[in-house]
Amino acid sequence: MTSSALAAAAAERAQNIRQRADRPSQRRSSEQAGARAVVRAALSGVQVRETGDATTLEFTGHASVYERGYEMWDAFGPYTEVVAAGAGADSLVRSDLDVPLVLGHDQLRRLARTSTGTLFLTEDANGLHVHAPALDPNDHDVAYIAPKLKAGLIDEMSFAFRIESGQWSPDYSEYRINRYDIHRGDVAIVGYGANPHTGASMRQPAAAPQTGRARALLELGIARA
């Protein structure tokens, strides 16, 4: 985004938004109207590695990186959005938390799910950490995405959520998400997301003896701050 476009949007926003606590109107990830309002990230490593018995794959990554600004758009134009550290704490401790790991935010392409005990979401020093310890390599979607991660063709993540509270900066150029709800949202492996600092990894835990094929199939480090 250009500084002039950011300033113009902020000025118009300041004239039209009643309170700084109001949520962005028509929030989206690009200038195009109707674009999804999701956040991507590319900081943690994308890994695809076999588990100890070489029958499953382990996936790890970050679906959002906290305290790092990224470009978003609302009804008035571009702005910088930041997810606050700990913003998902209340949502993640729900006993009925139901969040799938999907491809491209497609709810029919699920790889794992918190409600089935195959997906674990936590907050760490970087942001929203995603861990699926035992994906089935025979699953069509797992088989589809693993070689793309290995080749570096896919290296980002995103998450879909609801904003529960946030606040605009005094000049209305930045919106800070203080609390979000991810229940019945998703974490997704994507080509490009909104937050360019995230990342993902899928791996096969290394306990099996070395054979003709490498024990570690893939380990990509993403650090595009």
Give the DSSP letter string of 191-215: SS-S-TT-EEEEEB-S-SPP-SS-S
Report the pLDDT value the prediction gives residue 34, as an integer from 0 to 100: 73
If pLDDT is split at 50, 70 and 90, which confidence band does 134 have? very high
Place of tokens 């029958």: 55
Report the pLDDT value the prediction gives residue 225, as an integer from 0 to 100: 30
205 pLDDT higher than 60 = no
Report the pLDDT value the prediction gives residue 2, as an integer from 0 to 100: 82
Range of lowest pLDDT (127-131, 132-136, 221-225): 221-225
Report if pTM > 0.75. Answer: yes
Q: How far apart are CA 60 and CA 35, in angstroms?
A: 27
If pLDDT is split at 50, 70 and 90, which confidence band does 155 have? confident
173 pLDDT higher than 90 = yes
